[in-house]
Amino acid sequence: MAKRDYYEVLGVPKTASTDEVKSAYRRLARQYHPDVAKENPKVAEEKFKELSEAYEVLIDPEKRRRYDQLGFSAVESEFGPQGFTWQNFTHAGDVEDLFAGSPIFRQFFEGFGMPFGGLPRRESGRGADVEMALRLPLAAAVQGAHPTVEVPHAVPCRDCRGTGAKDGTAFETCPECGGSGQVRRVQSRGYTQLISIGECPRCHGLGRRILEKCPTCRGSGTLSSVEKIEIDVPAGIEDGAVLRIPGHGNAGRAGGRAGDLYVQVVFDADSPIRRAGREAFTETTVPLATALLGGQVSVPTIDGRADLKIPPGTQPETQFRLRGHGFPALRGTSRGDLIVTAHVEVPKQLSGKQREQLREALGGEAGAAEGRRESFFRRRAS
Ligand SMILES: [Zn+2]
Ligand SMILES: [Zn+2]
């Protein structure tokens, strides 16, 4: 693949400000969100990498200056002989928030070896994350929504305050690891010593040993429960976006931190409205007479049905724009447009009387065509 100019990759002019470079990168990076890109992750990685390489250079005034002067040869020395790798990318933090809400993302990009330093790491005793899908009507993408969901998950046991020990006190510091939860193992092989640090086998990394189990939770420290949580769905949210609600996943083991809840927003798939950014698209059928003479038809919109005025002489596949009937940007209020494609319905059959009237109304043109067809059939029949 021929290397494309960095400005071209980001779609910004040579005079673009740092802010413009940043917002172009963020906008384009969204397209490689794993929720979108999971169908072809290999291609998505290549594209996202090309984009990130361009960003790495153009966002840094010094690297950008050298690139402007010397082109790609200036950055070859920067990235090394094999070219740009994810290890060269130092600005992952600039897009982390776009993806951090998605656990799928973490697997997806960490598989690339992408250095997302700020993402939460697994910690000992931390509860599992819980994922769920939330189905919403399309109107929620316009107004936002605050649905209450019931999340089945593990919560800390009340009776032992999550320790798993009777009354929350019947435990001692693990004698094996001294409370750290980790043990050092030293293996000698010939002249070399192999030192490994692993989870303490006695307390399984918890650092304490239960003397008497809590009878309510039988020592696990957690109970299963259904929690009702109000979810704040912002206006303008895209289909498939994942919201992260920290601390509402499963309870941690023996007092460890709770996991997070991930809610994927899924819009009603049966809706006749399609979406592309802030614009909405739909279709309608216009009876032939209405297309010829004008009138109005009822069209589906995000907010219900609306009347669309059809001017006389409307051509098939004409697109009408209903201003302000599209979607807002994320957390925005001003809405894009709804574009309605009008399919003109041509009747398959006409009665003899209708044919007569139509021939009369349209004059010679239709009459001539009809005449030709009739003579054709007469010829076939003879
Ligand atoms: Zn231990
Ligand atoms: Zn308990």
Q: What is the reported pLDDT for 336?
A: 94
* CB-based contacts of 206, cutoff 8 Å, min separation 6: 124, 125, 174, 181, 200, 253, 254
CA–centroid distance, 130 to ligand 2, in Å, is: 21
Residue 183 Cα, ligand 1 centroid: separation in angstroms? 8
Q: How far apart are CA 139 and CA 302, in angstroms?
A: 6
Residue 229 is encoded by which pair of tokens?
Answer: 């949580």
Decide: 119 and 106 in contact? Cβ < 8 Å: yes
The dihedral sign for the CA sequence 224, 230, 233, 239: positive
- Name the DSSP letter for residue 233: B
* Ligand 1 geometric centre to CA of 117 (Å): 29
Cα 69 to Cα 245: distance, rounded to the nearest angstrom: 47
Name the burial class of residue 105, with classes exposed (0-12), middle (13-18) and buried (19+) by CB atoms within 10 angstroms of its CB.
buried
Q: Ligand nearest 166 Cα, by number?
A: 2
- pLDDT on residue 111: 53
Q: Which residue has the tokens 């809706």?
A: 271
- What is the structure's pLDDT at 103? 54
Eight-class DSSP state of 134: E
- How close is the Cα of 254 to the center of ligand 2, in Å? 9
Task: Give the contacts of 11 (CB within 8 A, at least 6 positions apart).
Answer: 24, 28
Q: Which ligand is nearest to the CA of 254?
A: 2
The pTM of this model reads 0.51
Q: How far is it, in rounded angstroms, from Cα 91 to Cα 57?
A: 10
Q: Which ligand is nearest to the CA of 170?
A: 2
- Identify the pLDDT of residue 342: 95
The Å distance, Cα 201 to ligand 1 centre, comes to 7
Strand partners, 345: 287
Q: What pLDDT does 102 receive?
A: 58
Question: Could you read off the pLDDT tens digit of each residue along the chain, which spans 382 residues?
Answer: 578 999 999 999 999 998 899 989 988 887 776 556 666 767 777 888 888 899 999 999 888 998 998 888 877 777 776 788 777 777 777 776 666 555 555 555 555 544 444 444 445 667 788 888 888 988 899 989 999 988 888 888 889 888 888 888 888 888 888 888 888 877 776 677 666 777 888 887 778 888 899 999 888 888 888 888 899 999 998 888 888 888 888 877 666 778 888 888 888 878 899 988 899 999 999 999 999 999 999 999 998 899 999 999 999 999 999 999 999 988 888 899 999 999 999 988 888 998 888 888 877 554 455 444 544 444 444 4
Ligand nearest to the CA of 212: 2
Do strands 242-245 and 261-267 pair parallel, antiparallel, or not at all (unpaired)?
A: antiparallel
Ligand 2 center from residue 156 Cα (angstroms): 8
| Ligand nearest to the CA of residue 162, numbered in listed order | 2
Burial of 289 (0-12, 13-18, 19+ CB in 10 A): exposed
Instruction: For residue 215, give the ligand nearest its CA.
Output: 2
Q: Check residue 106 and give its pLDDT.
A: 55
Cα 254 to middle of ligand 1, angstroms? 13
Cα separation, 333 vs 313, whole angstroms: 36
The count of other CB atoms within 10 Å of the CB of residue 203 is 23
Distance 179 CA to ligand 1 centre (A): 6
Q: Which amino acid is at 253?
A: R
Quote the ligand 2 centre to 247 CA distance (angstroms).
19
Expressed in angstroms and rounded, the spacing between residue 219 Cα and the centre of ligand 2 is 6
Residue 352 CB-half CA count within 13 A = 0
For residue 256, give the nearest of 162, 360, 326 by alpha carbon: 162
> Please, which residues have CB within 8 angstroms of residue 231's CB and are 6 or more apart in sequence?
134, 145, 146, 147, 148, 149, 243, 245, 263
Burial of 179 (0-12, 13-18, 19+ CB in 10 A): middle
Q: How far is the CA of 74 from the centre of ligand 1 (A)?
A: 54
Specify the pLDDT at position 151: 84
Question: With contact defined as beta carbons under 8 Å apart, do 125 and 207 qualify?
Answer: no
pLDDT for res 119 = 40
Q: Helix or strand or coil: residue 43?
A: helix
